[in-house]
């Protein structure tokens, strides 16, 4: 098989996988549910459906294929920057059948285009070619996968009878209960970001060296049981644990527990419309950055920086290089991490030993997004491409970085370098966290002297 054929097959498979998930998420509810706005934070599902198709048309049919716009009159409706989520329900959107028909029309033409496009070709510097390494196709597959995650979050916010179901993740392995609470990540430089990952987006680039002092990181994400101890200890009522902004937000928003938790003789949470006792050994979910930060301070620790998180996830002391994933360079498979909406919840803390990083930390990829202490900033040498609104307009102190993906994230949109960002008040995303502490001086991880 030529490189071109292999790439064409991979692209088609990723686009089809994303569409299968989109279809599952949008056929699980009735038409009234599709056009309803379930939260001012989210679009009606029918907007996502046509927006996915509209972006696919823009980047693949128009930019790569040189086609004219299929329906120019609808383009402004599906431009995420023209219409914030809150106003989308008021727009003259395509109905469910029209949106599906539009998606089908675009996809048919895209599959034809894949067969006609020279996808391999000579490597081009990032920012020069939409077709080198099939970048635009990978970007569009990731875009649909990201909306599948957003639509899953809409399902979690939706009020009504349960519409989604999935098997539970595998039980925790036998050693989960005896894992050390934290692992040491040796100090020293490592390569952060990437210049070689073909479908990495602009904010993940370029690769650059970063010095990280030795630190300890929680072996697993913070569990619901540990978080419940913070609540029981009065963590929400003690301003010592909160930043000034965090305390103000906690007061204004009346935060007392993670989103979707309620007290009923014990903590209960709603999981896609089904109430259940909070599972003590699962990573805590649906906490905002302020809550994660306050918990860490209460625990005498802190959130890891983004660079610390990435070093823990990617750095291999044996080779001195950064891997694509904690487990190595090979692609994801189900035994390695909880991704792809196969399970609609995080796996118990300590799961996925095969996916562990060289430092021993588990579940860095999958299960829950992990808040870091870092603001969303460009890497040195950053170039916005192919459009500024993907990342550049979000750089700054108002957004915090999340890493590692969650059970709702597709493997096509998740890797050791992938960066997500959100406001520190947001809780509807599938986010948890783990904590860190600086190691004492002397644990700098210098290579042992050789004879
Ligand atoms: Fe989008």
Q: Which of 323, 342, 353 is nearest to 409 (CA)?
A: 342
Confirm if 419 and 357 have CB atoms less than 8 A apart: no
Nearest partner of 133 among 78, 199, 222, judged by Cα: 199
Other residues' Cβ atoms within 10 Å of the Cβ of residue 9: 12
- Which of 88-97, 113-122, 249-258 tops mean pLDDT? 249-258
Look at residue 362 and give its three-state secondary structure: coil
Q: Which residues lie across from 268 on neighbouring strands?
A: 262, 277
Give the single-character DSSP code of 59.
I
CA of 314 to the centre of ligand 1 (A): 28
CA of 89 to the centre of ligand 1 (A): 16
Q: Give the per-residue pLDDT at 119.
A: 82
Cα(146) to centroid of ligand 1, in Å? 8
Region 91-118: mean pLDDT is: 95
What separation in Å is there between the alpha carbon of 350 and the centre of ligand 1? 33
Report how far ligand 1's centroid is from the alpha carbon of 53 (Å).
10
How far apart are the CA of 190 and the centre of ligand 1, in A?
32
**Ligand 1 center to 19 CA (angstroms):** 14
Tell me the HSE value of 428 on the side-chain side, using a 13 A CA sphere.
Answer: 16
Angle at 246 between CA 240 and CA 248, to 5 degrees: 95
> pTM above the 0.75 mark?
yes
Q: Which of 313, 303, 312 is nearest to 415 (CA)?
A: 313
* Residue 43 Cα to ligand 1 middle (Å): 11
Q: Which two tokens stand for residue 327?
A: 């487990």
15-33 pLDDT, tens digit per residue, is 999 999 999 999 999 999 9
From the number of C-beta atoms within 10 Å of its C-beta (0-12, 13-18, 19+), residue 167 rates as exposed
CA–CA separation, 108 and 106 (whole Å): 6
> Could you give the dihedral angle defined by the CA atoms of residues 86, 89, 93 and 97, in that order, rounded to the nearest 10 degrees?
120
Residue 188 alpha carbon to ligand 1 centre in Å: 38
Chain centre distance of CA 282:
18
CA of 323 to the centre of ligand 1 (A): 28
Q: Which of the four pLDDT bands, split at 50, 70 and 90, describes residue 235?
A: very high
Q: Ligand 1 centroid vs 184 CA: distance in angstroms?
A: 38
How high is the pLDDT of residue 88?
84
pLDDT in tens, 274-297: 999 999 999 999 999 999 999 999
Q: What is the 3-state secondary structure (H, E, C) of 208-232?
A: EEEEECCEEEECCCCEHHHHHHHHH
82 CA to centre of ligand 1 in angstroms? 12
**Cα of 274 from ligand 1 centre, angstroms:** 28
Peptide bond into 43 cis (omega under 30): no
Q: How far is the CA of 359 from the centre of ligand 1 (A)?
A: 35
Sign (positive/negative) of CA torsion 364, 365, 369, 375?
A: positive
User: Distance between CA atoms of 355 and 175, rounded to whole angstroms?
Assistant: 14
CA 260 to ligand 1 centroid distance, Å: 26
- For residue 106, the CA-to-ligand 1 centroid distance in Å is 16
pLDDT one-digit tens code per residue, 189-219: 999 999 999 999 999 999 999 999 999 999 9
Cα(9) to ligand 1 centroid in Å equals: 24
* Residue 391 CA, ligand 1 centroid: distance in Å: 12
CA distance 382 to 86: 31
Percent of the chain with pLDDT over 90: 89
Q: What is the 51 CA–ligand 1 centroid distance (Å)?
A: 7
Looking at residue 265, what is its pLDDT?
96
- Cα–ligand 1 centroid distance for 289 (angstroms): 23
pLDDT at 143 over 80: yes
Ligand 1 geometric centre to CA of 127 (Å):
20
Query: What mean pLDDT is reported for the chain?
Result: 95
Instruction: Give the 3-state secondary structure percentages of the chain, helix then strand then coil, rounded to 5.
Output: 40, 15, 50
**Cα–Cα distance between 138 and 335 in angstroms, integer?**
24
Q: What is the pLDDT of residue 90?
A: 87
Ligand 1 center from residue 148 Cα (angstroms): 10
Return all residues near 274 (Cβ < 8 A) that are at least 6 apart.
162
Q: How far is the CA of 79 from the centre of ligand 1 (A)?
A: 8
Ligand 1 centroid from CA 147, angstroms:
6
pLDDT of residue 450: 39
- C-alpha 414/C-alpha 243 separation (Å) is 30
Residue partners of 258: CB distance under 8 A and separation at least 6: 227, 269, 284, 285, 286, 287, 291, 427
**103 alpha carbon to ligand 1 midpoint, in Å?**
14
């Amino acid at each position: 098989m030529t490189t071109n054929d292999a790439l064409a097959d991979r692209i088609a498979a990723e686009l089809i996988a994303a569409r299968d998930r989109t279809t599952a998420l949008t056929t699980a509810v009735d038409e009234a549910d599709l056009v309803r706005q379930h939260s001012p934070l989210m679009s009606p599902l029918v907007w996502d459906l046509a927006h996915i198709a509209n972006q696919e048309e823009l980047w693949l049919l128009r930019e790569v294929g040189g086609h004219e716009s299929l329906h120019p009159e609808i383009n402004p409706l599906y431009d995420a920057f023209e219409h914030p989520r809150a106003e989308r329900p008021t727009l003259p959107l395509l109905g469910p059948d029209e949106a599906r028909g539009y998606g089908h029309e675009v996809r048919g033409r895209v599959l034809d285009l894949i067969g006609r496009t020279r996808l391999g070709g000579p490597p081009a510097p990032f920012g020069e070619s939409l077709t080198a390494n099939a970048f635009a196709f990978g970007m569009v597959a990731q875009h649909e996968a990201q909306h599948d995650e957003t639509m899953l979050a809409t399902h979690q916010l939706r009020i009504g009878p349960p519409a989604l179901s999935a098997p539970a993740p595998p039980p925790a392995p036998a050693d989960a209960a005896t894992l050390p609470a934290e692992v040491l990540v040796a100090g020293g430089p490592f390569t952060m970001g990437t210049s070689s990952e073909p479908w990495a987006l602009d904010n993940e680039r370029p690769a650059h060296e970063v010095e990280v002092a030795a630190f300890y990181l929680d072996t697993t994400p913070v569990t619901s049981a540990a978080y419940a101890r913070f609540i029981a200890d009065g963590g929400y009522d003690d301003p010592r644990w909160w930043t000034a902004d965090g305390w103000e937000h906690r007061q204004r928003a009346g935060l007392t527990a993670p989103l979707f938790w309620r007290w009923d003789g014990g903590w209960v949470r709603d999981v896609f419309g089904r109430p259940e006792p909070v599972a003590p050994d699962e990573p805590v979910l649906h906490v905002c950055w302020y809550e994660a930060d306050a918990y860490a301070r209460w625990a005498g620790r802190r959130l890891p920086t983004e660079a610390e998180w990435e070093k823990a996830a990617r750095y291999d002391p044996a080779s001195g290089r950064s891997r694509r994933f904690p487990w190595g360079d090979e692609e994801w498979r189900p035994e390695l991490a909880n991704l792809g909406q196969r399970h609609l919840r995080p796996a118990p803390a300590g799961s996925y030993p095969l996916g562990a990083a060289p430092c021993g930390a588990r579940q860095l990829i999958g299960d829950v997004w992990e808040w870091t202490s870092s603001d969303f900033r460009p890497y040195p040498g950053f170039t916005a491409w192919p459009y500024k609104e993907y990342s550049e307009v979000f750089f700054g102190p108002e957004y915090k970085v999340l890493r590692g993906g969650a059970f709702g994230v597709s493997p096509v949109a998740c890797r050791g370098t992938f960066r997500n960002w959100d406001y520190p008040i947001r809780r509807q995303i599938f986010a948890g966290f783990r904590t860190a502490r600086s190691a004492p001086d002397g644990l700098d991880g210098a290579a042992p002297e050789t004879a």
